Structure 1
């Protein structure tokens, strides 16, 4: 069971003071968070790509590259790369460079993106949303397979026997498919034999078990061994010394972000009762003391089949020291409990 962190590098107004941290300061903080995650024994750190004022990481590869020489073991991934509006050649080059700097620890998590700001920014039409992803994923995988590439598509100029450099340390460079639970994306990942990441941020995580089974069936249909394909989850959460403290600290910024996004997307208000329900044992929020969070992660592993868990923290702006403490608790206290219990369970 791999355990790690994901972040969108939020720069939302502080709910207590109204102040907004600069993009520069928040990016530097995230590099410190990655370094700490490595030091406390976590397995992976993911940085999400966004192109809006309240998220500072429009270029995850650059952030990960800054952390790469300062870390020793942790894997460094996007979470996600919005592949539909990106150039797959440049994406591959950027992450091959991170792979070089980290000596073989880079990964790409490719997704269509739930935020759409990058499409007009880079000159793409949202009506091509699905077609763009399929085409660009095809090119990315061809670049991964071969140093010299010949390719033709409908949304990007053709490539005729050209080399793409640098080549990564890892062969092949890991490419994951990020999904919010769309059956089509789950089936695509399985047929291609690519690892799957599920964003489990609402409802009951156990409800995602049929999607994992669908993914495995698609993998078999595509001629792949599903036992060799990892499945990851990405869920919001926070850890403190006791559960009440964790909930009280995490709720205000989470509410502020969920209500802002709710206005953009037509959701209802996000209340404390909704939050408390979501942090129940069957809910999708992993908020509490180390034992509480560990128990929920073990439950997810046993009932959904997730082999990698990424705790998304913070949601909205929280004090950097509190985020660092949550990362420390995840690595030093939660992860050992989970790994030990999962090892016992798998041993039978």
Structure 2
């Protein structure tokens, strides 16, 4: 199994101290967290996309470009790109640029999104969100795999002999399909033979397992090799030396975040830290407990990639860093040996593809 860290770049006060860092400091934290993730042995770092408060993640390509300049090996994910509201031409250009800057480390995750803000901001009709997602993805695939694309659709002006630049470093980058509840997203992933990323954030594990089972059923129905279906999963993470300490430290952050969440369809039934740890999908506790829970979810999901979020209600950067170090040291090694790894990711430190940090200026 491979492991990653993900962020939506939330910008909220610390639930305990009330301190709110500046936007500049928050962005610096994200880049430093990605550097730490790579140094600690994580395999991927993901930046989500949101266009309303309390998030600062309206421009993932810019953030991932900054991370690409500071890292060598780690895969750079979007978690997720809200493709239903965006122009596929702009997406093709922006993320091909990230792919080139990183030496071919981009992994795009697309989704229709579950926040209301982008529809009005970008002048899109939310009632057409699934049709937009499907059409935009078909065009994006063509723009990345073909040159001189001639195309017409229902939602944007036609193209004639269009070639987007730069071309991706990879031929082409992998696209994952993110889903929290949507069977339409699952269907699209299965249709095209692409990997699926299940949110694993707020619902019971059984709900996500049913979504993943649906993906595998539809994958096989479309004639793909069952062994080739790939699944990723997310999850809130808080690790400490023992379960009691983890729950005591994390409770004010988790419960503040749950109380503040009021987006329809995005509320969790797990209202306390004990409910989240014992009944929900979250990873809260000692390294041993977290490792056991990931293995338990692997039995339900069969996933190849596990992402963790350490962004909760203004948790201080130093504490996020501690959580990642402890997880990398005591959780990841045992699971890497115990769980299969079907992801065939090249190591850019061996191929020479990674961007070199702190390069001398060209003269």
With normalisation by structure 1, the TM-score equals 0.92
TM superposition shift of 1:101: 1.5
Question: Would the alpha carbon gap of residues 98 and 343 (structure 1) be closer, same or farther in structure 2, given more than 3 Å must change?
Answer: same
TM superposition shift of 1:234: 1.0
**Secondary structure, aligned partner of 2:234:** strand
Question: Would the alpha carbon gap of residues 269 and 138 (structure 1) be closer, same or farther in structure 2, given more than 3 Å must change?
Answer: closer
User: Are 1:175 and 2:144 an aligned pair?
Assistant: no
User: Are 1:339 and 2:336 an aligned pair?
Assistant: yes
Query: Residues 141-186 of structure 1: CA distance to partner in whole angstroms, max 9, x if unpaired?
Result: 1112212211111111111111111111111211110000322221
Counterpart for residue 302 of structure 1: 299
Map of 1:271-310 to 2, 5 A cutoff?
Answer: 271-272=271-272, 275-280=273-278, 283-310=280-307
TM superposition shift of 1:268: 8.4
CA contact (8 A) 2:202 2:266 kept: no
Counterpart for residue 88 of structure 2: 88
Q: Name the CA distance, whole Å, in 2 between partners of 1:284 and 1:266.
A: 14
**Secondary structure, aligned partner of 1:235:** coil
Counterpart for residue 321 of structure 2: 324
Greater Cα shift, 129-138 or 316-325:
129-138
Query: Residues 38-71 of structure 1: CA distance to partner in whole angstroms, max 9, x if unpaired?
Result: 1111111111101113111111111111011221
Question: Would the alpha carbon gap of residues 314 and 249 (structure 1) be closer, same or farther in structure 2, given more than 3 Å must change?
Answer: farther
TM superposition shift of 1:233: 0.5
Counterpart for residue 142 of structure 1: 142
Question: Would the alpha carbon gap of residues 138 and 268 (structure 1) be closer, same or farther in structure 2, given more than 3 Å must change?
Answer: closer
Counterpart for residue 258 of structure 1: 258
CA contact (8 A) 2:237 2:283 kept: yes
Q: Name the CA distance, whole Å, in 2 between partners of 1:276 and 1:44.
A: 29
Q: Name the CA distance, whole Å, in 2 between partners of 1:271 and 1:186.
A: 28
TM superposition shift of 1:343: 4.8
More helix by share: 1
Query: Residues 295-327 of structure 1: CA distance to partner in whole angstroms, max 9, x if unpaired?
Result: 111111123211111011122211000001111
Question: Would the alpha carbon gap of residues 293 and 268 (structure 1) be closer, same or farther in structure 2, given more than 3 Å must change?
Answer: closer
Q: Name the CA distance, whole Å, in 2 between partners of 1:106 and 1:204.
A: 30
CA contact (8 A) 2:239 2:326 kept: yes
Query: Residues 274-307 of structure 1: CA distance to partner in whole angstroms, max 9, x if unpaired?
Result: x312211x53111111111111111111232111
TM superposition shift of 1:207: 4.1
**Secondary structure, aligned partner of 1:51:** coil
CA contact (8 A) 1:193 1:224 kept: yes
User: Are 1:236 and 2:236 an aligned pair?
Assistant: yes
User: Are 1:64 and 2:64 an aligned pair?
Assistant: yes
CA contact (8 A) 1:149 1:164 kept: no
CA contact (8 A) 2:270 2:280 kept: no
- For structure 1, the 5+ residue unaligned runs are none
Query: Residues 98-154 of structure 1: CA distance to partner in whole angstroms, max 9, x if unpaired?
Result: 111111111110001111211111111222222211111111111122122111111
Q: Name the CA distance, whole Å, in 2 between partners of 1:291 and 1:24.
A: 36
Q: Name the CA distance, whole Å, in 1 between partners of 2:44 and 2:191.
A: 25
CA contact (8 A) 1:147 1:167 kept: no
Q: Name the CA distance, whole Å, in 1 between partners of 2:125 and 2:263.
A: 23
Counterpart for residue 345 of structure 2: none
Greater Cα shift, 218-227 or 100-109:
218-227
CA contact (8 A) 2:108 2:174 kept: yes
- For structure 2, the 5+ residue unaligned runs are 342-363
Q: Name the CA distance, whole Å, in 2 between partners of 1:331 and 1:92.
A: 33
Q: Name the CA distance, whole Å, in 2 between partners of 1:339 and 1:265.
A: 34
Cα RMSD of the aligned pairs, angstroms, is 2.0
Q: Name the CA distance, whole Å, in 2 between partners of 1:72 and 1:330.
A: 21
Q: Which has the higher contact order (CA 8 A, sep 6+)?
A: 2
